[in-house]
Structure 1
Amino acid sequence: MLPACGDNMAAPVRIILEFGGGAELLFDGMKKHHVTLAGQEQPWDIKQLLVWIQRNLLKERPELFVQGDSVRPGILVLINDADWELMGELEYQLQDQDNIVFISTLHGG
């Protein structure tokens, strides 16, 4: 039997986003955001999450947070307390209850 339309939609994904090291200033000064991402056919990945963040959370100066389709150099990304480079970076597929942390290591003088 073929699945009905919409049966292959994944459940929503609830994650926690944290911003630190000054990056929180781009998000109205809020360091922690509890987010629910709508279910979709394909699993959410970090690349899609960055687009979602830009459209829904980022309040000012996007050039200080993103560059192209990734985060700007100088922003450390942790996925569940592990460097995202160990997790597949942009291709990492988000899991329910993941904790994603963005820490700016850039400091003006």
Structure 2
Amino acid sequence: MAAGVDVSLEFSGGAELLFDRVKKHDISLPSQDKSWTLQCLLAWIRDNMLKERPELFMQGQTVRPGILVLVNDADWELLGELDYVIQPNDTITFISTLHGG
């Protein structure tokens, strides 16, 4: 069983509006049978943190187009996107590049 993992989540560019307007969350992910990947994290965020309108944050099993995901300031596309295995004390940032008008 994989141990729980402590991470920091940051939301900006409007994404924080979906999380009670809080930009930074220090969380401890619970222990589970497999390693925590970004795909597992997104499902956990959807089920445990999103307060409203999950369709504005997620599309299917991933983030909506227009949301930039960084892991320790590196684009997740360079790290394997959904398959990236989260490490203790990672900082995962979600930045919405979509602005309503």
1:6 counterpart residue number: none
Structure 1 stretches of at least 4 aligned residues deviating more than 4 Å after TM superposition: none
Aligned equivalents of 1:83 and 1:98: distance in 2? 13
Count how many residue pairs are aligned between Structure 1 and Structure 2. 101
- Aligned residue identity for 1:57: M
Secondary structure of 2:34's counterpart equals coil
2:75 counterpart residue number: 83
Unaligned runs of at least 5 residues, structure 1: 1-8
1:51 counterpart residue number: 43
1:69 aligns with 2:64: no
Secondary structure of 1:48's counterpart equals helix
Aligned equivalents of 2:57 and 2:2: distance in 1? 28
User: How large is the Cα RMSD of the aligned pairs?
Assistant: 0.6
2:18 counterpart residue number: 26
Aligned equivalents of 1:53 and 1:11: distance in 2? 18
Secondary structure of 1:59's counterpart equals coil
1:17 counterpart residue number: 9
Q: CA deviation at 1:41?
A: 2.2
Aligned equivalents of 2:30 and 2:98: distance in 1? 32
Secondary structure of 1:14's counterpart equals strand
TM-score normalised by L of structure 1: 0.90
Q: CA deviation at 1:20?
A: 0.1
Q: Rg larger in 1 or in 2?
A: 1
Q: CA deviation at 1:11?
A: 1.8
Unaligned runs of at least 5 residues, structure 2: none
TM-score normalised by L of structure 2: 0.97
1:42 aligns with 2:34: yes
Identity of aligned residues (%): 65
Q: Deviations over 1:23-62 (max 9, x none)?
A: 0000000000011011222100000100100111100111
